[in-house]
A and B are shown apart, each in its own frame.
Chain A
Amino acid sequence: MTALPQTTEKKLGLVIDLDTCVGCQACVTACKGWNDQSHGLSDQDAYGANPSGTFLNRVHSYQVAVPDAPPQIVNFPRSCLHCEVAPCVTVCPTGASYKRAEDGIVLVNEDACIGCGLCAWACPYGAREMDADQGVMKKCTLCVDRIENETLPEEDREPACVRTCPTNARHFGDFNDPESKVSRLVADRGGYDLMPDMGTKPTNKYLPPRNKGPGTASPLAPLLDIKATGVAGWLDRMLGKI
């Protein structure tokens, strides 16, 4: 049913720390790797001149002009936010898109999907991509087949992107539990929603980059301005003429 549940027992999702993400793309690769099993995520012309493919997670990179401080590079992972008011679910004509009442995870039942693409239009965050080979919609599953997978060792029962992140920039947990790691991170670090005006009430939260303070000049800066004199100066001038 594409009606949204009023409340969900658990509220599973991710916290993404923009302060520690180094933009290594490991989560992109791990996500693709894990989710490439069974139905898979197809690529087109993978080794050709114009490669393209289906991914559930993408990492952007922004430069931010910070007032009264040096500019900053911020790496920005983007995947489904498992919104509470998920517009992608209610637009779906077939019931293929749904939000689970038990934990709030937003999923696509590929066997019922007609590939109309309306849900991808409805998502403000670009979290859904149509698989060009299979003609059905793909999105982040919050790795349901890991987090509930009893055959995996306990420490692996978290999303592939979280498990793989070398800087611990991604955290997984239940936002309904105020004592969970994700809830505490959001409270301590001022976790925020993306485009709150869109009214989607995302579950995933982003932690802002920490304040880096004013810039300090590099200790090597004086060396940049060095002028060669004597023999070195003569050499420098001669070489410059060649």
Chain B
Amino acid sequence: MHPAPSVILFSTLSGLGFGFLAFLGAGLLIPSGWAAFFLWGLGYGLALSGLLAATFHLGNPKNALKAFSQWRTSWLSREAWASVATLLILAPVALSDWLGLGLPRIIGVVGAMLALLTVFTTAMIYTQIKAVPRWQQTLTPVMFLTFAIAGGALLSGQAWAPLAMLAVGGILLALWRQGDGAFAKASQTMGTATGLDRLGTPTVFEPAHTAGNYLMREMIHVVGRKHAKKLRVLALILASAMPALILLLPLGLPGLAVAALLHLAGALAARWLFFAEAEHVVGLYYGARD
């Protein structure tokens, strides 16, 4: 799949934002005064900038409100609802932390659950696509949630954040391992795509069109194996190993900031791979999957 920068930014930033909001909401970090203003602001900023980036991916954003209508069937619509509900329900909690209004924490806990639900709905948008076997795995939502929780743990300075960072690495390794065999496991070939397997073994004789088209640009992105391997190593080092290490050192707030930035860079690399390496079965018609 085409690794569109808007979608990569959206899912990474909003995942981190909602993860952090979950920790703030649940009261695992309770800031007060101006610290509360800046920390809640960071959470909202990340979540909102992600959602904003997502609208850049739309061809026709003027209809965006209509995306709330199909929550019964569409995960994208459910995501729209979950994200707005989270941001609305957590707003009074944020205000209460900032101004010391003493609102009951239970509202924050509900908001925290909604925040994680939002991340889950984001993940399901990809997981539901049967035509992309690499995405249709239980590990896909697990990966999205692990990133959100680990990122939230890091930003809220939890003692176990280094462990969470290591969990991110573990999930990535498992996801890649399973994902690399997923297309073969779905056992779709040019033969089943055309039905010509009942006749023999087809190969492309002539392309259907000599120039590119939407399908090829959007769905048939091929990354070099060597290139992907390097990026995987980079993603593991940046998103998992280095932040875990830095968090274990007594570096205080600057250390935390550096760890967070490295983690975000690694998360972006991993998300780029999540799209770029995903093979859509439509590639079979173009002979791009052999």
Contact = CB atoms under 8 A, between A and B. Distances in A.
Interface of A: 1-3, 18, 23, 50-55, 58-67, 71-74, 76, 78, 87, 89-96, 111-118, 120-126, 129-132, 134-137, 192-199, 206, 208-209
A206 B281 CA distance: 19
B69 A93 contact: yes
Given A91-B75, A126-B219, A206 B60 contact: no
29 contacts: A3-B73, A55-B209, A61-B207, A62-B190, A65-B203, A71-B200, A74-B194, A76-B194, A76-B196, A91-B73, A92-B73, A92-B76, A93-B66, A94-B70, A96-B63, A114-B63, A115-B61, A120-B219, A122-B129, A126-B219, A129-B215, A132-B214, A134-B59, A136-B59, A194-B194, A195-B193, A195-B281, A197-B187, A208-B198
A114 B61 contact: yes
A60 B74 contact: no
Contacts of B218: 117, 120-121, 130
A184 to B, nearest CB: 19
Interface residues on B, range: 35 or more
Contact of A114 (B60, B131, B219): B60
Contact of B70 (A51, A58, A73, A93): A93
A62 B208 CA distance: 10
Interface string B74-86: 1111001000000
Contact of B200 (A1, A66, A132, A195): A66
Given A61-B205, A78-B208, A117 B281 contact: no
B286 to A, nearest CB: 8
A5 to B, nearest CB: 12
A87 B206 CA distance: 29
B290 to A, nearest CB: 13
Nearest to A53: B213
A197 B186 contact: yes
A139 to B, nearest CB: 11
B193 A194 contact: yes
Contacts of A52: 211-214
Given A90-B74, A121-B1, A121-B132, A72 B63 contact: no
B130 A114 contact: no
* Residue with the highest number of chain B CB atoms closer than 10 Å, among A53, A130, A206: A130
Contacts of B219: 120-121, 126
Contacts of B202: 62-65, 74
B128 interface: yes
Given A60-B207, A61-B206, A74 B196 contact: yes
A65 B201 contact: yes
Contacts of B187: 197
B215 A126 contact: yes
A135 B58 CA distance: 8
